[in-house]
Structure 1
Amino acid sequence: MAPPPELMDELVGEILIRLPPDEPEHLVRASLVCKPWLRLLTDPGFLRRYRAFHRTPPLLGLLHRLQVVQGDPEPRLVPTTAVPLLPYPDLRRSRALDCRHGRVLLHVLDRGGSFLVWDPVTGDKHRVPDVGIPWLIYTAAVLCAVSGCDHLDCHGGPFLVVFVATDDDDDELVKACVYSSETGAWSTPVCLDNGYESYAQHMQRALNLTRRIYNTPYVQPRRVALVGDEIYFTLRWGNAIVKYDWGNNCLSMINPPSHNSYNIVLMLMEDTSLGFAYIEGSSLYLWSRKVNSEGAAEWVQCRVMELETMIPVANPDDKAFVVGFAESLGVIFMSTGVGLFTIKLNSGQVKKVDEPGVYFSILPYMGFYTPDCCTLSSPARPRSH
């Protein structure tokens, strides 16, 4: 019997391009079938088409942060697929702060307070010097700095690190600054103080609530929301939202749609507006900050989702908490006594991604893992800078 005819390269490419990016092991296995397939699956042109075809980088792994009183979680990147991400860097003491644009930002606590920007796919590591702010509590973000980048293949290239903190020395002011890998320097910190009317009002409300104790404007150690060239984060007491425009190096405040919910998430909505999510009772409330017909920004409630029959709980007293968001995937992370779950906002699909535990802010690592990544992460490649 004659062997079956070989598929044309163009047809093979059209088939392979449709393999799902959230199951990247299929592409890796396909690259092992034969040398022609390997050449095709590592060809830069095919890879560009593959990423453009699927557009949304999948979730590859998870890190997370806890509140200050809870200490630090075990330093590990939990994989959510079968791909072999590189192990967490061998650091004596470190704290994961952010995952974004193919990079992970770590605070190296035993080396003078420096930072490490790490790529779990290629293994590249870049040291960032100490920020020089005597922080009391803080959060930070790592961003691709390539102008016009679509962030579908952010491996290498210049980056920014945005740092926001409650200063431990300077009257406990909120400060922010940004580091550029191109200049190798931090910007001059900018302060949010009583010169801002909204900030002064927030501090007065905190004083009234706490009777002059524990009114420090703590920056919440949550993953920040990135909307355009602006970073959004929250302060303790009333979910006060602070906006940092790093391009103009200025801070401002925004009142939230809800002051009373403790576990909240700031996120990028599908229409690129700022979103705000929280759970009250058994319902998930989603708000979006829209510009009205008069040009003023206001909060609009855009959705309410009933969770009682959607998210598994351990017992009648168990509750669900929102603990994170994956912006490009339209996915919210929720924690219960049964485990850590994702829920897709467009379909309501629920998926368990980790075991039960204490979660406060999930740091989702997203990116395309293609067969060329196996070459990028080989031991022969230099990976520290």
Structure 2
Amino acid sequence: MATPPPPKRLHGRSLLDLEDDLIPEILLRLPPHDPGCLVRCSAVCKPWRRLLTDHAFLRRYRKFHGVPPMLGVLFDLDLDLPCNCFAARFVRTTSFRPRALDHGGCYVRDARHGRVLFSSATNEKNEYDLYVWNPITGERWEMLRPLPLPVSVLSYAAWNVTVLCAAAVREGGGDCDHLDCHGGPFLVTFVGTDDDGVTCGRVYSSETAAWSDAAYAEHPDDLADMDTRPCALVGNRVYCLAAGSMTIVEYDLDRRKLAFIDPPSAYEGHGVLMPAMGGGGLGFAGVRGSCLYLWSREAGPDTTPAWTQSRALELNTLPGPRRHLRQDRCWRLQD
């Protein structure tokens, strides 16, 4: 039997002959946008596998690369069939492929901290109203919307939901950097407004598998519908928009209280909520004409928070043909 060739050597040395402290530094620099690299390297030998599956190394890997790569995009798909079917579709942007790309009978409602939140498009075929999905492991949790609720709040546009890491209930978002919390406990927040202008907020905990007691507040504009676009999480507070009036609903997860905030007075039309850039407060973005305007809500001289326009970006200067600007609903999925 022929003797197998010796391992390939680089400058007279094999990769397996490297110093033990050099191997982690090399593997630490594997590209995060291709998760398959980690899998292939873990098959080289048992020491590499032990290293690449070690929680300490994985935490260091995530910290070294910073913001996780975007694994894909989720959007709602109308299949345009006689049965009026709906599906939420996952479109890959990396080599990562979850076990399921399509989720029939569901709408995407939120995606954050490595999890995706769906709502049932119809209760005729689905026993549960809400689903939380972990695309990395394929795990799925089902839950019903909080009851009792007025019939008007059960319509699709009268409520909004958010999924987030359970550490967000602690002051300032806790000590979690959200780089490795998709396997831990999570929360689902529910905010809805009835026809009488009363807004209700509740929180579901995966640890207790139950909804919290309701917090109520009277909506200042007596509008029932909530904007179903993604909410913003800033510290331990969730912010969502009320459709039509553009009033911002604030839900404090620590104190379990609701409050209402006026949008920037200088802006009219649709907007998007987000964490403020470089700050830590609430941000607001909107398109008017061909210009993108950004605001941040900061404390003024009298400690009362106020909106300040931070930037105005002229989009007509971007290369390529001019296109009509739209604000569609889509969700990015980051590991």
- If the length of structure 1 is used for normalisation, what is the TM-score? 0.71
Superposed CA RMSD in Å reads 2.6
- 1:166–1:173: 8 Å Cα contact kept in structure 2? yes
Give secondary structure in 2 for the equivalent of 1:40. Answer: helix
The CA distance in 2 between the partners of 1:36 and 1:115, in whole Å, is 42
Q: Which residue of 1 aligns with 2:64?
A: 53
Q: Which residue of 1 aligns with 2:302?
A: 294
Q: Which residue of 2 aligns with 1:179?
A: 204
- If the length of structure 2 is used for normalisation, what is the TM-score? 0.81
Give CA deviations for 1:200-244 in whole Å, capped at 9, x if unaligned. Answer: xx34xxxxxxxxxxxx43100010000111111111224211111
The CA distance in 2 between the partners of 1:46 and 1:14, in whole Å, is 10
Work out whether 1:77 is the aligned partner of 2:90.
yes
The CA distance in 2 between the partners of 1:122 and 1:29, in whole Å, is 18
Give CA deviations for 1:175-213 in whole Å, capped at 9, x if unaligned. Answer: 22111122222122223326xxxx1xx34xxxxxxxxxx
Q: Which residue of 2 aligns with 1:156?
A: 183
TM-fit CA distance, 1:125: 1.5
Could you tell me which amino acid in structure 2 is paired with residue 84 of structure 1?
A: R
Q: Which residue of 2 aligns with 1:352?
A: none
Work out whether 1:96 is the aligned partner of 2:104.
no
Aligned ranges 1:103-122 → 2 under 5 Å: 103-108=115-120, 109-110=122-123, 111-122=126-137
The CA distance in 1 between the partners of 2:247 and 2:204, in whole Å, is 25
TM-fit CA distance, 1:35: 4.2
Could you tell me which amino acid in structure 1 is paired with residue 200 of structure 2?
A: K
Unaligned runs of 5+ residues in structure 2 are 1-5, 78-83, 168-173
- 2:90–2:102: 8 Å Cα contact kept in structure 1? no
Q: Which residue of 1 aligns with 2:81?
A: none
Aligned ranges 1:313-352 → 2 under 5 Å: 313=321, 316=322, 318-321=323-326, 323=327
TM-fit CA distance, 1:123: 1.1
Work out whether 1:40 is the aligned partner of 2:51.
yes
Q: Relative to 1, partners in 2 of residues 1:268 and 1:72: Cα closer, same or farther, differing over 3 Å?
A: farther
Aligned ranges 1:59-70 → 2 under 5 Å: 59-64=70-75
Higher mean alpha-carbon deviation, 149-158 vs 35-44, is at 35-44
The CA distance in 1 between the partners of 2:259 and 2:244, in whole Å, is 16
Q: Which residue of 2 aligns with 1:365?
A: 333
Q: Relative to 1, partners in 2 of residues 1:283 and 1:33: Cα closer, same or farther, differing over 3 Å?
A: farther
Aligned ranges 1:214-233 → 2 under 5 Å: 216-233=223-240
Identity of aligned residues (%): 41
Could you tell me which amino acid in structure 2 is paired with residue 39 of structure 1?
A: R
Q: Relative to 1, partners in 2 of residues 1:261 and 1:26: Cα closer, same or farther, differing over 3 Å?
A: farther
The CA distance in 2 between the partners of 1:365 and 1:258, in whole Å, is 32
The CA distance in 1 between the partners of 2:228 and 2:320, in whole Å, is 27
TM-fit CA distance, 1:31: 3.2
Unaligned runs of 5+ residues in structure 1 are 204-215, 324-359, 368-385
The CA distance in 1 between the partners of 2:208 and 2:40, in whole Å, is 41
Q: Which residue of 2 aligns with 1:211?
A: none
The CA distance in 1 between the partners of 2:101 and 2:197, in whole Å, is 33
The CA distance in 1 between the partners of 2:273 and 2:136, in whole Å, is 27
Could you tell me which amino acid in structure 2 is paired with residue 150 of structure 1?
A: D
TM-fit CA distance, 1:365: 1.3
TM-fit CA distance, 1:118: 1.0
Aligned length: 302
TM-fit CA distance, 1:101: 1.2
The CA distance in 2 between the partners of 1:295 and 1:172, in whole Å, is 29
Q: Relative to 1, partners in 2 of residues 1:104 and 1:251: Cα closer, same or farther, differing over 3 Å?
A: same
TM-fit CA distance, 1:312: 4.4
Q: Relative to 1, partners in 2 of residues 1:145 and 1:254: Cα closer, same or farther, differing over 3 Å?
A: same
- 1:122–1:155: 8 Å Cα contact kept in structure 2? no
Structure showing greater relative contact order (alpha-carbon pairs closer than 8 Å, 6 or more residues apart): 1
Q: Which residue of 2 aligns with 1:123?
A: 138
TM-fit CA distance, 1:260: 5.2
